[in-house]
Structure 1
Amino acid sequence: MQLLVASNNAKKLGELQRILDAAGITGVELLRLADAPSYPEPVENGRTFADNALIKARAGAAATGLVTIADDSGLAVDELNGMPGVLSARWSGRHGDDQANNELLLAQLGDVPDERRGAAFVSVCALVTPEGEEHMAEGQWRGHLLRAELGENGFGYDPLFVPAEESRGTGQGRSSAQLSAAEKDALSHRGKALEQLVFTIEKLASR
């Protein structure tokens, strides 16, 4: 079965591939958007992560006739009442400018004490078939935010985020940008959401 991952982010594709491999699922070929017939990029104008994930997955399934999986994810900062949220990728005003987004967030939280720097990565994954079946899953990854970037792995806000599993009461710990791919898969918001869809993917692949 060909499964369209509605993204050109190779790291997202690799994450799903590792999860499928770990579950022993074979017979699934993951395709990036660049590997599928081109279609107009849908406008992500939803108010929630779930809204945007469904917009992308529905568009992919309708345009290509392939089972499509899409996620919408971002950082929800306690002190900012859950923002940047769905605006995470364009928080600075320029879509996908990780450095500018991180710098703006650090500036906004400059005077916030350590005990109030809690945050969570949130991911909602939507899987839609050409026949109209829809499946949703959500994952969250709690932690706190640093005062400067740390680590070279990952992307987005990873260098600012220390997972709760890493803190161990020290107030520091490794950032998610310092974790290996396998460590991040086992803990991350997207990994938690994708794992909930593994059984559905396996069923669809066996048809």
Structure 2
Amino acid sequence: MTLQTSTSVGTDRQALITWYRRNRERTRMLFDLLVEDAYYSRPIALRHPIVFYEGHLPAFSFNTLVKRALGGASIDARLEALFARGTDPSEQSGDLKGVHDWPSRATVQQFAEEADRRVIDALTSANLDQPGHPLLDRADVVFAILEHEAMHQETLLYMWHQLPVSQKRRPLGYRPRVDGRVPVPEWIDVPAGQATLGVRRDAVRFGW
């Protein structure tokens, strides 16, 4: 698989759509690793329950690109607000909801499908590169939503590690690698020198 980056795709619409679809497919594959009983569990105490993340990823993309940047219409204001906040919940602020405070999985997936549809519509035909716009200058918001989902996939993987084996499914066709040479650990010396933080805006296509 070729890794796409903001530098390699520029504002090639088809490349952006392919990147978005690939992100969404990888997220679905991660959720397919779990049994239904795990959906409302919170494997890490100060993280949201799993249900949140299936809604948060499409909600962030929709809220940020379609609603905030392009001024598009709402899908479901309650769900958009529920899934908007991706930071860790706080016990003091009352963010730790019970199972019955979260929507059904069918509701979450229906919302996600519509959010995906509208995001792809925007990537297909909206004016994504608007010089001087706080979100659309150099199409920054597009690369932000694409990289946001990929970063969360790493978050999901270390959450899944905290679940008991009984709540996880073996991927179809998976066979563990049990042979081959074990790599030998080695140290690499990095010489002292000067490190420059940051980058000129005109030197890269996108940066956080």
Q: Max radius of gyration: which structure?
A: 2
- Structure having the higher strand fraction is 1
Q: Say whether the fold is shared (TM-score over 0.5).
A: no
- Structure with the greater relative contact order (CA < 8 A, sep ≥ 6): 1 or 2? 2
- Structure having the higher helix fraction is 2
**TM-score in terms of structure 2 length:** 0.25
